[in-house]
Amino acid sequence: MAVYDPPVATYIPLQTITLGATTSSVTFASIPQTYRDLIVVAQRRTVSGSNSEKVHLNGDTTGSNYSRVLMYGTGSSTGSTSGANDSTAGITTTISQTVYQFMDASATDKHTTFLVRDNNTSSLVTAGTHRWANTDAITSITLLVESNSYAAGATFSIYGIEA
Amino acid sequence: MTAVGNTGVAGAFGLGITDIFDAFDTSKNTTTRTLGGRNPVNNNEDRIALSSGLWVNTDAITSLRLSPEAGSLWLANSRFSLYGIRKGAA
Per-residue pLDDT reduced to its tens digit, A41-75: 999 999 999 999 999 999 999 999 999 999 999 99
- A-B CB pairs within 8 A amount to 84
Model pTM?
0.89
Question: In A, which residues are within 8 Å of B39 by CB distance?
Answer: 67-69, 82, 113, 129-131
Q: Is pLDDT at A89 greater than 70 in this prediction?
A: yes
Of chain A, the percentage scoring pLDDT greater than 90 comes to 89
What is the tens place of the pLDDT at every residue in A92-136?
A: 999 999 999 999 999 999 999 999 999 988 888 999 999 999 999
Q: How far is it, in rounded angstroms, from Cα A115 to Cα A153?
A: 25
Q: What chain A residue is nearest to B37 in terms of C-alpha separation? A: A129
How far the first Cα of chain B sits from its last, in Å, is 25
Q: How far is it, in rounded angstroms, from Cα A117 to Cα A127?
A: 5
Residue A137 pLDDT: 97
Residue A19 region by backbone torsions, left for phi larger than 0, else alpha for psi between -120 and 50, else beta: beta
Angle at CA of residue B10, ends B80 and A65, nearest 5°? 100
Q: How far is it, in rounded angstroms, from Cα A31 to Cα A29?
A: 5
Nearest Cα of chain B lies from the Cα of A5 at a distance, in angstroms, of 10
DSSP state of A84: E
Nearest Cα of chain B lies from the Cα of A82 at a distance, in angstroms, of 7
Which of B13, B36, B83 faces A111 most closely, judged by CB atoms?
Answer: B13
Q: Does the beta-carbon distance from A37 to B2 stay under 8 Å?
A: yes
Provide residues of B within 8 Å CB-CB of chain A.
2, 4, 11-17, 35-41, 46-48, 50, 77, 79, 81, 83-86
Q: Does the beta-carbon distance from A69 to B83 stay under 8 Å?
A: no
Nearest-CA neighbor of B81 among B66, B61, B59? B66
From first to last of the 90 residues of chain B, give the pLDDT tens digit: 556 666 667 888 989 999 999 999 999 999 999 999 988 776 577 889 999 999 999 999 999 999 887 778 888 889 999 988 877 665
HSE of A29 in the Cβ direction (CA atoms, 13 Å)?
4
Beta bridge partners of A26: A143
DSSP line for B2-60: EEEEE-SSTT-EEEEEEEEETTT-SSS-EEEEEEEEE---STT--EEEEEEEEE---SP
Nearest Cα of chain A lies from the Cα of B8 at a distance, in angstroms, of 12
Q: Does the beta-carbon distance from B2 to A111 stay under 8 Å?
A: no
